[in-house]
Structure 1
Amino acid sequence: MVKGWHGWVGTFTGVALITVAVLPLAALAVWALARRRRATGSTPAWAWRRSLAEVGIVYGTVPWVWLTMLPGDRAGAVPGRASLVPLRDLFAILSSEPVRATVQIVGNLLVFAALGFFAPLRFAALASVPRILALAAGCSVLIETAQYVLRLDRVSSVDDVLLNAAGAGLAALVSRRWWRATARVSSDRPRAGPVPGG
């Protein structure tokens, strides 16, 4: 059972339950945004695709970022810790605790997966795997820096950055087949007519 505010917002179980609970609201947000865009003259395909991408980025990313920022038991009492040697932490945990390592790897791959999947569908400028990798890596560096500065009793690791970026890149590859469809649908959007008297 989840008890108290901390149980809801300060634990993995609480965050997972909140994420599931707000799924209907996320679906409603997609519908409302698409309906508003259709009312302004957008084509149905463009309106739905863009609305789904916007909500998907937020809904699929915020809970994971929230989890990465949960403080440990000794938060504030211990100094920030950093691991800057690539793959050292990953190999160490794989050799000692394979189950925990698997969970950690999968979790890190999912942090920016929604961003990698939906961002190219929403923003034409991000319709490139290298750009998605750079964006996810930059966001991950910000998270790791915040963990270190805020002394959250977490290890700020370069391996997390690599895995976060890799997850976003893989998700972008999965959605790549729809990038051109998005560009085509966007080109079908109604354009503003000439200004009267202009």
Structure 2
Amino acid sequence: MTAALLVIDMQRGFDDLDYWGPTANPACEDNVAALVAGWDGRGPIVVVRHDSVDPTSPLRPGSDGNALVEAVGAASADLLITKSVNSAFYGDPDLHAWLGERGIREVVLCGIQTNMCVETTARMAGNLGYDVTVVLDATRTFDLTADIAGVGTVTRTAAELMATTALVLQEGGFARVATTSALLADVYRT
């Protein structure tokens, strides 16, 4: 079966830790680069870029932070999708239609942020009937703190958020969770 590798929001703006806060998994970019390099013949590579509508975001169009990281430049992409929301399925061009035209029913996800755009895209893909794998060590996210009505102040570290996302996606039946090395070993076997 042909699978599409979805590389989500691997953009320079996520290196701005003054804006985003503490992060986890410094090996994310290297693991994404390994997936892109090792994807030969497995299927298409879809690169997704977040074009933020927030004028203060480092991901806004026209800013240096909107650019893709060197390891996943648009040159490696069979398709470039731009979006301004969490799910790659609400981008331009239409990902679901593009995959359907090619008969692709399996997607492998990596990128940033684990618990935001990667998780939302994985949930939608699962609901749309795709066979979904999230390569957890090829994702990363940032600490979150919020005051939530009826709950109070809630704080989660990036590592806790990554673990929670993996748990919810796998046990919720949305996706299987894999590591870069295991997935690449499987790619080379097929």
Specify if TM > 0.5.
no
Q: Which has the larger radius of gyration?
A: 1
More strand by share: 2
TM interval, shorter chain, is: under 0.3
> Whose helix proportion is higher, 1 or 2?
1
TM-score (norm 1): 0.25
